[in-house]
Chains A and B, each alone.
Chain A
Amino acid sequence: MTTEQPRFVILLAEDEPADAHLVKAALAENEIPADLHHVVDGREAFEFLRRQGPRFANAPRPNLILLDLNMPRMDGRECLAALKQDATLRDIPVVILTTSEVERDVVASYHLGAAGYITKSADMLQYLAAIRGLGHYWIGLVRLPHQSQ
């Protein structure tokens, strides 16, 4: 899958395989040109970002991180806080993708430095539209810094 232009890389941290699959399916159905990498919790996200262990030795640096809030071991809140503390990782935009509609979670997420907050909809059409919007915004519209590697 080598192309001239580096592909847009998304890291998805999501513990529920069914939800992870939905994101993958929505990206594919919206034909969003992005590589999706999937980790199951915050700890694994950091292993990915720091290329720890044989599994992540060649992991690319993502252009965008999609973060679920409720995960085992290190949850989305802890992960987001840790990302924003890390000088080498804090410039990667993080969008929260969660079932939680609790206002407190929304406020806390932006406070911690989230770039966006998307509520997973049970309505498949709405869900697809949300992922489509996400793709257009981050890949088509916004200019992100060039990757240093």
Chain B
Amino acid sequence: MEKLKISPENITKDLLPQAFGKRGMIWTASLLVLCGIGLFAYIRQLTYGLEVTAMRDYVSWGIYISNFVFFVAISLVGSLITAVFRLADVHWSTPLTRIAEIIAVSAIVFASIIIIVDMGRPERFWYLMVYGRVQSPIMWDVIVIATYFVISLLLLYLPLLPDLKILLKAKGEGVNKFQKMYRFMGSFWKGLALQEKINNKAVTILCITIIPVAFSIHTVTSWLFATTYRPGWDSTNFGAYFISGAFLVGAGGVVVAMYVFRKAYKLEKYITEMHFDKMGKIVVLLALLYLYFNINEYLVPAFKMKKPEEAHLNQLFAGEFAPLFWFAICVGMLIPIAIMLFKKGRKPIPMFIAGVMVVVGAWFKRYLIVTPTLLHPFLPMYNVPQSYHHYFPSWEEWAIAIGSLAGALLVITFFARVFPIIPIHETITEQHENAE
């Protein structure tokens, strides 16, 4: 981390949670409205059943599952920024760790919610628990998501303990009303040497544990597809392909969040251009890696052009899904690479634009992984209504999907309102160590 030359008092003052300003209120209200519309659409789905969606016999996984895969993907960033960098003793990422962790937690929460939405009747989730088969990858996914959620929560909570002590002592509009919560969560933290030792050890254990669990969560998600014999999914490449894509979208999400928090909370002294520069290099590396897997995933089947895969690939490359496919490839990978490959492109504003492109491209990429395959089964579709040959989500599906994305952003927003989004204690400690 760069030498900050800021007094601990000023760091604390700068990084304490702040009350929402006018823009913050509008932002939160907008998210609440989107969540409300999503909730209304979900109530309609509960009332009338999955019939309100555009999903039918063939496209039984629509944007709900695309959204689920997107959420699981973006949640992986917690393990990358926090665990991998911490274990590699990379200190410049300290201001980004909590951003990454809250993105991970909020994304994994909404991944779980959206999968229940996709089930139609929510009690089916209970049946999954009671009657679930351990042979099913869906069961593995449920187990691994629950595990990853708990680990991510612990990884968010344990490094927060020293900051809770600071928050308890702090006075101000931003923290006063949450004192009871801070007391409940961390009044026992006294900063004792033994406490610090146990905490540091626990965080290290968590960092080691979260990496295989994070790899499992997205590998298992990829197996939901790859264990099914269908064009476009019948691939041994899927685990690595999904993981690389997940790291890319997660890193892109962190870049966007970095820029927004930096701007909203005036954190220029803490999230510096150096952070954008380094994150830019990481995103380029991840984008190139994901591009490599994409080439493998599409070029090899296209070279062989097996008959059952032909319709699916043609639809992607030059058919109905071609605009979306090339949009996802260009906007999600090629253009961000072109922007961030150069130093000027790794400045905050171009980085923010590239980060948004990566995230948007990644969402549509998940849609392209899920839907076109379902429209091209190995056995041709005969004697089915014309509507079964196409899929375009109903307004209820859009509302629920957008509502879930808004919900994830709302969790992050509320977290940043209540807790410091950059670790205060760690920043002070690292500055002190740097000064020495």
Question: Is B one of A's binding partners?
Answer: no
Q: Which residues of B contact A (CB under 8 A)?
A: none
Q: Which residues of A contact B (CB under 8 A)?
A: none
